[in-house]
């Protein structure tokens, strides 16, 4: 796969414009024809002296994905429903200002250096204790006060042909950032493929041993805003076990079978059926995986629209979060208030608090090793 770095000639008109070289304009004029894949770039706003851009990917079926380089954030996923019309199936905001709010609940972003929680904002590695930024009831959540979701990612490359469009983002997390050791070089690649698949590849290297756990934090609602909650969505997870948590949502270290409990999604079940028994889902499921390649680990179905989403991953776990902390105080796209359970996350990952849980799969990235993760969200209509 060949990538190249674009050279932009920026013309700012009323704060919004298309950013392309003359050659790119000519190339995209052909790409934007109906039925062809396309990749457009627009100015989205400023953070200090840094420009934020929105990248719009479209495949040959008309499915569209928008991503901004702030947090490598997915801001829109347009997919059809059973009558053919397109709808946006992820929560988010209409402008950069929304994503900069301190109470933005990680809509659509890449989270790291360690996704999910680390207990007491501490871990010990090679005999040394590291103290992290405590941003969640004394624990560390999604990398700390300024995790990967709150930084500008560099556009490392892009590729487009008549079938797919690809964006490659890079970020260098410096030694000591948020308390973590090592300079960690991260690349995240978004690929929009012909079969209505959004593929996300993660690669990372480090010059010191350090915990690494990356994921995407998109909130899905397959009704595309027609339903205020996801409680009538049907979820299936290929997971016979999960990791129970304490009152601060930190894993206890136990591994428990889901059979006979509200945590059992081994056959499709409406999310709202037993949600009150657990006061909302925000847990890590241990996936029934057998190999190193991406495998189908879950499905999500919204019967009224017919939208169906399949999730494939190389990861050992998935955090199913049912939007328990949304409370209607956030105004999202088109002025919509996001109420409790307005969207759900399926965060493919290693287990939470693994640096403090020796029985969990290892998350330590060592010098000379390469962290790799692939997740695919595939959309269709039933």
| Residues labelled as active-site residues | 217, 347
The secondary structure of residue 71, as a DSSP letter, is T
Torsion of CA 25, 28, 30, 36, to 10 degrees: -170
Residue of 361, 285, 312, 113 whose CA lies nearest to 214? 113
Quote the CA–CA distance of 172 and 260 in Å, as a whole number: 45
**CA–CA distance from 305 to each of 27, 39, 195, 198, 223 (Å)?**
36, 27, 19, 20, 6
Quote the CA–CA distance of 269 and 263 in Å, as a whole number: 10
> What value, to the nearest 5°, has the Cα angle with vertex 235 and ends 231 and 237?
145
Evaluate the CA torsion angle 362, 264, 348, 345 in order and state its sign: negative
CA 98 remoteness from chain centre = 17
């Amino acid at each position: 796969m060949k990538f190249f770095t674009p050279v932009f000639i920026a013309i700012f008109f009323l704060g919004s414009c298309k950013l392309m070289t003359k050659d790119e304009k000519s190339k995209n004029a052909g790409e934007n024809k109906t039925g062809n894949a396309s990749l457009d770039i627009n100015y989205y706003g400023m953070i200090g002296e840094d420009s934020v851009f929105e990248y719009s990917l479209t495949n040959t079926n008309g499915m569209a994905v928008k991503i901004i380089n702030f947090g490598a954030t997915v801001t829109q996923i347009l997919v059809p429903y059973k009558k053919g019309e397109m709808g946006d199936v992820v929560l988010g905001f209409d402008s950069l200002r929304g994503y900069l709010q301190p109470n933005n609940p990680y809509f659509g972003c890449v989270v790291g250096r360690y996704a999910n929680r680390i207990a007491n904002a501490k871990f010990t590695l090679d005999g040394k204790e590291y103290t992290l930024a405590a941003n969640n009831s004394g624990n560390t959540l999604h990398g700390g006060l300024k995790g990967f979701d709150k930084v500008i990612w560099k556009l490392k490359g892009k590729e487009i042909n008549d079938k797919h469009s690809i964006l490659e983002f890079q970020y260098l997390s410096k030694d000591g950032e948020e308390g973590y050791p090592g300079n960690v070089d991260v690349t995240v690649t978004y690929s929009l493929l012909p079969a209505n698949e959004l593929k996300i590849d993660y690669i990372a290297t480090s010059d010191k041993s350090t915990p690494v756990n990356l994921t995407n934090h998109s909130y899905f609602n397959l009704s595309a805003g027609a339903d205020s909650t996801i409680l009538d969505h049907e979820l299936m997870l290929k997971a016979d076990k999960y990791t129970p948590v304490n009152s601060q949502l930190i894993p206890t270290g136990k591994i428990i079978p889901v059979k006979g409990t509200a945590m059992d999604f081994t056959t499709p079940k409406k999310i709202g059926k037993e949600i009150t028994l657990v006061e909302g889902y925000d847990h890590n499921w241990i996936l029934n995986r057998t190999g190193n390649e991406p495998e189908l680990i879950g499905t999500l179905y919204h019967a009224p629209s017919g939208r169906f989403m399949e999730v494939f991953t190389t990861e050992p776990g998935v955090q199913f979060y049912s939007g328990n902390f949304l409370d209607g105080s956030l105004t999202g796209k088109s002025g919509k208030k996001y109420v409790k359970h307005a969207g759900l996350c399926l965060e493919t990952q290693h287990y939470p608090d693994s640096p403090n849980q020796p029985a969990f799969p290892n998350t330590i990235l060592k010098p000379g090793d390469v962290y790799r993760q692939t997740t695919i969200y595939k959309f269709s209509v039933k």
